[in-house]
């Protein structure tokens, strides 16, 4: 009996412009349950904008986006989001546990209606989530005292504490060193056993050893397949178009269209980094 893969995110010919300036044009992408997708591309290529469309924070002017079989806005409570920049000032006098608890706001559970305080159960879940991201010892720390790597773990815990089905991260390792970047991605690989993950990165060479597929975005999106990421391919990928590159291990097929790749039921990997960003072998 054949198994049909379930799409958890479906983007069909979506276009988006800010004030008439096009940022995304005719982008189609299908993310299947359990995937670990890397989204790469040059600065201003539209990566953050695409994530905001999936999160329902923006709406495409053309095309259609469905998340978990419903509109992005309706699905939002099932998504965990780690933004590129924390939406609160680092000197805000708040403890790590309270930052994590923010991830339970708006879920229809969490604050006790009677006292306006967190339920004990929520605190337990938040503590447990901190332990899962190996940051349990930070619970009582002020948020401003954390290193970049610690802060990323806390933001990851905040995204996970709402028990999402899909985890979306916008350059979670942009401000931390390469060793800590590896630790965060090892953690994401563990989480991927239970969750679908979409992560934006500038570093295609690095993420290609973790993700199962890489989508390349530069206003438009194109799918390719290849076995290996080499200099020629990276140069090609850093062109001016929007691309989705799928590295299909053990399969020499290349240059598939986005639609063809979307139709594929087999695991894929992809890549493409801008030349000004590091490429690790
Ligand atoms: N709120 C906004 N209003 C107007 N223009 C915007 C807005 N947000 C983003 N842009 C523009 O849209 C384009 C795409 O931005 P976006 O942040 O989606 O790209 P990105 O690929 O995530 O970039 P980076 O890698 O630098 O984070 C850029 O030219 C940016 O200046």
- Whether 131 and 178 map to the same domain: the answer is no
180 & 280 share domain: yes
**Which domain-ending residue is among 140, 164, 188?**
164
Indicate whether 187 and 242 sit together in one domain.
yes
Residue where a domain terminates, one of 135, 164, 193: 164
- From atom 24 of ligand 1, which residue's Cα is the shortest distance away? 43
**229 CA → ligand 1 middle, Å:** 27
Boundaries of domain holding 151: 87-164
> 21-25, 132-136, 171-175 — which is least confidently predicted?
171-175
Residue 87 has pLDDT above 60, yes or no: yes
Check pocket membership of 45 for ligand 1, CB cut-off 6 A: yes
Distance, CA 46 to ligand 1 centroid (Å)? 6
Residue range 233-256: mean pLDDT, rounded:
42
Asked if the ipTM is above 0.90, the reply is yes
Mutate-to-test residue for ligand 1 from 16, 17, 41, 45, highest number of ligand atoms within 8 A of CB: 45
Q: Is residue 240 part of a domain?
A: yes
Q: Give yes or no: residues 149 and 219 share one domain.
A: no
In a domain, 150, yes or no: yes
Residue nearest to ligand 1 atom 4, measured at CA: 18
| pLDDT tens digit sequence for 60-76 | 999 999 999 999 999 99
Q: What is the DSSP string of the chain?
A: -PPPPPEEEEEEEEEEEETTEEEEEEEEEEEETT-EEEEE-STTSSHHHHHHHHTTSS--SEEEEEETTB-HHHHGGGEEEE-SS-SS-TTS--BHHHHHHGGGTTTT-SB-TTTSSB-HHHHHHHHHHHHHTT-GGGTTSBGGG--HHHHHHHHHHHHHTT--SEEEEESTTTTS-HHHHHHHHHHHHHHTTTSEEEEE-S-HHHHTTT-SEEEEEESEE-EEEES---HHHHHHHTSSS--EEEE-TT-------HHHHHH--S--B-----TTS----
pTM for this one? 0.80
Q: Do residue 190 and residue 236 come from a single domain?
A: yes
**Same domain, residue pair 61 and 179:** yes
Residue with CA nearest ligand 1 atom 3: 18
pLDDT at 37 over 70: yes
Q: Mean pLDDT over residues 188-194, rounded? A: 94
Q: Are residues 63 and 175 in the same domain?
A: yes
122 and 62 part of one domain: no
Residue 159, pLDDT above cutoff 50: yes
Q: Is position 73 within any domain?
A: no
CATH of the domain at 48: 3.40.50.300
What mean pLDDT, rounded, does the chain reach?
A: 77
Residue 248 predicted with pLDDT over 60: no
Q: Which of 33-42, 166-175, 183-192, 235-244 shows the lowest mean pLDDT across its residues?
A: 235-244
In a domain, 78, yes or no: no
Count of domains in the chain?
2
Single out the residue in 142, 164, 186 at which a domain terminates: 164
Note whether 190 and 272 are same-domain residues. yes
250 and 194 in a common domain: yes
Query: For ligand 1, what atom is nearest to the CA of residue 171?
Result: 27
């Amino acid at each position: 009996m054949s198994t049909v893969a379930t799409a958890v995110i479906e983007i069909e010919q979506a276009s988006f412009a800010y004030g008439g300036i096009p940022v995304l044009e005719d982008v189609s992408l299908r993310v299947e349950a359990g995937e670990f997708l890397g989204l790469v591309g040059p600065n201003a290529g539209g990566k953050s904008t695409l994530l905001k469309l999936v999160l329902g924070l923006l709406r495409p002017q053309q095309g259609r986006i469905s998340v978990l079989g419903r509109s992005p806005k309706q699905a939002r409570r099932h998504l965990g989001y780690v933004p590129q920049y924390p939406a609160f000032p680092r000197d805000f006098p708040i403890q790590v546990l309270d930052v994590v608890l923010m991830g339970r706001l708006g879920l229809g559970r969490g604050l006790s209606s009677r006292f306006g305080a967190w339920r004990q159960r929520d605190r337990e879940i938040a503590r447990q989530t901190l332990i899962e991201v190996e940051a349990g010892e930070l619970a009582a720390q002020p948020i401003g005292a954390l290193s970049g790597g610690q802060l990323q773990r806390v933001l990851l815990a905040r995204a996970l504490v709402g028990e999402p089905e899909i985890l979306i991260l916008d350059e979670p390792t942009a401000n931390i060193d390469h060793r800590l970047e590896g630790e965060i991605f090892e953690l994401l690989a563990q989480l991927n056993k239970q969750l679908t993950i979409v992560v934006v990165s500038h570093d295609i060479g690095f993420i290609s050893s973790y993700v199962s597929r890489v989508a390349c975005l530069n206003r438009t999106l194109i799918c390719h397949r290849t076995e290996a990421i080499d200099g020629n391919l990276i140069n090609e990928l850093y062109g001016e178009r929007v691309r989705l590159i799928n590295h299909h291990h053990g399969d020499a097929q290349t240059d598939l269209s986005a639609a063809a790749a979307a139709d594929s039921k087999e695991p894929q990997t992809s890549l493409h980094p801008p030349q000004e960003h590091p490429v690790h072998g």
